[in-house]
C-alpha cells in the first residue's frame, strides 16, 4: 500500500531517547555494568501526602472536566502566583495529561513559524514540523549554549523573513533541558522585549522552574518581565508534575494562558482541542496534584529538598567533568550537565568519531556510559565549534538502583538534604569513575 501516511507524519521518528535505551539494553544483556546518564526522568519518592491522596482517589474513574478539576486549576494558579509574585487566576489554567500534549496543541493551533534556541529539548522540533510549521534556530552562547543576545534573536528573525517564513511564535525553556542553565533576569528581558516588539507569541516551558539553584529566583519566568506585574498579552506558560514531583507517569501538565482577549481566545481553542483529543487528565492524578502544587509547609520543604539534591548532584558531576578537561558550563537548574568533548577532538578523530551521535554510541558500547548526543537537541556536528561533541548527561538516575531503593532510601535522602547533612551518592561516584576511565582511554589513543 502506498502513501498510507500523510507527509508531515512520515517525518516522525522514534525519539533518540529510545535509541539510546536500546543500546543500553544491549549492554545490559551482555551482563556488563553501565552508567545511565541518558534519561531525564526524576526518580525521588513521591511526597507521602501526595501519594496518599492518589491512593484515596483510585476509585475515582469518571472523566474530569476538560479544563481540569477546579480545585487543581486553583492550586496551580495560586502556586504560580506565589512563586512569581503575580496575580494568576484559575480561569487562565488548562490541565492536560502532561505538558507535552499541550505544547503539541499550541504548535498545532497557533499561527506562524517558530523561533527556537539551539540547543532545545528533543520534542519541540518534531512537534513544530508535524504542525507544518517552519523552525528557525536562534543561536546561543558558545560557552553555556544558553544565553541569547538581541543580535542572535534579530539574526534568526531576519533569516526567517528572508527565507519567506512568518515567525510569530518563540519558545524558551528555563531552566533548560539539555543545558541545565537558567536565564538571568537581563537575558529574560532581552527575549521578552524582542517578542513584544515583533509581536511574537512567547511560550515559556517552565517544567523545571522549581529546580533552580542559581539564587536568582526572580529570573524564573518571562511573565515577571512583562509590564507592571500584568502578564503580557502574548506569553503562555507551561509546567507540570513530572520533574519536581517525580510523577511523569501520572501525566499531569498545565498551560497558563495570558489574561487578555487573545489569551481568552487561545484558551477556548485549547479546550475545544482537548475535548476532541484527550478529554481530560487522569482523575486520581489530578486530585493528587492539588496537594502537590499546594504551598503548604511540607510541599515547600519537599520542593526545596529536591532542588538541593539536584544542585548537589549536577554540581559534583560538573566539577568532575571540568577536572577531566571537558568544556562544560556550571549548571544552575534542572538536572542536566551539557559538556563538550571538543578538547579531545584529535583523539576522537583518530578512532573515527566525527559526530556527537558517534561519540554517544562509543561511550555506550565501549565504556558503558549512556548519554544523549547534542544532535538530538538541534546541535550541528559540522556547525560552530560550540555545538560540537556535546552530550547531555542527566543525573536523575544516579540516586537509586531500582524502584525498591527509591522508597527504602529516598525519604531519608530528602530528609538529609532538608537538614543539611552530608550526602553520599555512590552511583554518582561510579559515574565519575566511568567517565574518568573513558577520558583515560581517549588520552591513550
Ligand X SMILES: Cc1ncc(COP(=O)(O)O)c(C=O)c1O
Sheet of 336-337: strand order equals: 336-337, 391-394, 372-373
Indicate the residue among 37 and 434 with the shorter CB distance to ligand X: 37
| Binds ligand X by CB under 6 A, chosen from 37, 207, 321, 398 | 207
User: Which residue, 119 or 165, has its beta carbon nearer to ligand X?
Assistant: 119
For ligand X, what does the binding mask look like between residues 116 and 155, x meaning CB under 6 A? -----x----------------------------------
Size of the site for ligand X (CB under 6 A): 13
What residues contact 434, with CB distance under 8 A and at least 6 apart? 35, 367, 368, 369
Distance from C-alpha of 191 to C-alpha of 188, rounded to nearest angstrom? 5
Q: Is 146 helix (H, G, I), strand (E, B) or coil?
A: coil
Provide DSSP, 76-133: HHHHHHHHHTS---GGGEEEESSHHHHHHHHHHHS-SEEEEEES--TTHHHHHHHTT-
Asked if residue 175 binds ligand X (CB under 6 A), the reply is no
What CA–CA distance (Å, rounded) separates 163 from 216?
38
User: In this complex, which beta carbon is closest to ligand X, that of residue 45 or of residue 253?
Assistant: 253
Residues numbered 103-122 forming contacts with ligand X, rule: CB under 6 A: 121
CA 136 to CA 120: how far, in whole Å?
A: 12
Residues 221-260 that bind ligand X (CB under 6 A): 240, 242, 248, 253
Residue with cell 510541599: 299
Three-state DSSP string of 8-56:
HHHCCCCCHHHHHHHHHHHHHHCCCCCEECCCCCCCCCCCHHHHHHHHH
Q: Cell 515547600 belongs to which residue?
A: 300
Is 209 among the residues that bind ligand X (CB under 6 A)?
no
Closest approach of ligand X to the CB of residue 431, in Å: 20
Among 125, 205, 210, 379, binds ligand X (CB under 6 A): 205
Measured from the CB of residue 226, what is the shortest distance to ligand X in angstroms?
22
Residues in 39-98 at the binding interface with ligand X, rule: CB under 6 A? 40, 98
Question: Considering the complex, what minimum distance in angstroms separates the CB of residue 46 from ligand X?
Answer: 14
Nearer to ligand X, 187 or 353 (CB): 187
Q: Which residue's beta carbon is nearest to the bound ligand X?
A: 98
Binding region for ligand X (CB under 6 A)? 40, 98-100, 121, 173, 177, 205, 207, 240, 242, 248, 253
Amino acid at each position: 500500500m502506498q502513501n498510507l501516511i500523510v507527509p508531515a507524519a512520515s517525518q516522525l521518528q522514534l525519539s533518540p531517547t529510545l535509541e539510546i535505551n536500546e543500546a543500553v539494553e544491549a549492554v545490559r544483556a551482555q551482563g556488563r555494568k553501565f552508567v545511565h546518564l541518558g534519561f531525564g526522568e526524576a526518580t525521588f519518592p513521591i511526597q507521602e501526602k501526595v501519594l496518599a491522596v492518589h491512593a484515596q482517589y483510585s476509585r475515582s474513574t469518571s472523566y474530569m472536566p476538560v479544563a481540569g478539576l477546579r480545585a487543581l486549576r486553583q492550586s496551580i494558579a495560586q502556586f504560580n502566583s506565589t512563586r512569581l509574585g503575580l496575580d494568576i487566576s484559575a480561569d487562565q489554567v488548562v490541565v492536560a495529561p502532561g505538558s507535552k500534549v499541550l505544547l503539541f496543541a499550541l504548535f498545532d493551533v497557533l499561527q506562524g513559524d517558530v523561533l527556537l534556541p539551539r540547543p532545545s529539548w528533543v520534542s519541540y522540533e518534531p512537534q513544530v514540523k508535524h504542525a507544518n510549521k517552519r523552525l528557525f534556530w536562534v543561536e546561543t552562547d558558545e560557552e553555556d549554549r544558553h544565553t541569547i543576545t538581541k543580535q542572535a534573536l534579530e539574526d534568526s528573525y531576519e533569516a526567517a523573513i528572508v527565507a519567506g517564513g512568518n515567525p510569530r511564535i518563540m519558545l524558551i525553556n528555563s531552566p533548560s533541558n539539555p543545558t541545565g542553565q537558567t536565564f538571568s533576569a537581563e537575558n529574560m528581558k532581552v527575549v521578552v522585549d524582542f517578542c513584544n516588539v515583533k509581536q511574537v507569541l512567547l511560550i515559556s516551558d517552565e517544567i523545571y522552574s522549581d529546580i533552580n539553584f542559581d539564587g536568582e529566583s526572580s529570573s524564573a519566568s518571562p511573565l515577571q518581565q512583562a509590564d507592571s506585574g500584568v502578564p503580557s498579552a502574548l506569553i503562555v506558560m507551561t509546567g507540570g508534575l513530572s520533574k519536581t514531583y517525580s510523577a511523569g507517569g501520572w501525566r499531569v501538565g498545565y498551560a497558563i494562558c495570558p489574561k487578555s482577549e487573545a489569551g481568552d481566545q487561545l484558551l477556548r481553542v485549547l479546550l475545544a482541542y482537548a475535548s476532541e483529543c484527550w478529554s481530560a487528565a487522569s482523575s486520581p492524578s489530578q486530585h493528587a496534584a492539588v496537594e502537590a502544587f499546594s504551598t503548604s509547609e511540607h510541599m515547600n520543604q519537599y520542593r526545596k529538598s529536591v532542588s538541593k539534591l539536584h544542585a548537589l548532584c549536577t554540581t559534583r558531576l560538573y566539577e568532575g567533568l571540568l577536572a577531566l578537561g571537558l568544556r562544560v558550563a556550571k549548571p544552575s537548574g534542572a538536572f542536566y550537565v551539557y559538556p563538550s568533548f571538543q578538547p579531545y577532538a584529535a583523539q576522537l578523530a583518530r578512532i573515527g568519531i566525527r559526530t556527537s551521535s558517534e561519540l554517544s554510541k562509543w561511550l555506550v558500547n565501549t565504556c558503558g556510559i549512556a548519554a544523549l548526543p547534542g544532535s538530538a537537541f538541534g546541535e550541528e556536528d559540522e556547525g560552530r565549534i560550540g555545538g560540537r561533541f556535546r552530550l547531555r548527561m542527566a543525573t536523575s538516575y544516579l540516586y537509586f538502583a531500582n524502584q525498591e531503593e527509591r522508597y527504602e532510601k529516598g525519604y531519608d535522602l530528602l530528609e538529609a538534604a532538608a537538614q543539611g547533612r552530608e550526602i553520599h551518592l555512590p552511583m554518582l561516584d561510579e559515574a565519575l569513575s566511568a567517565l574518568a576511565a573513558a577520558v583515560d582511554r581517549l588520552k591513550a589513543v
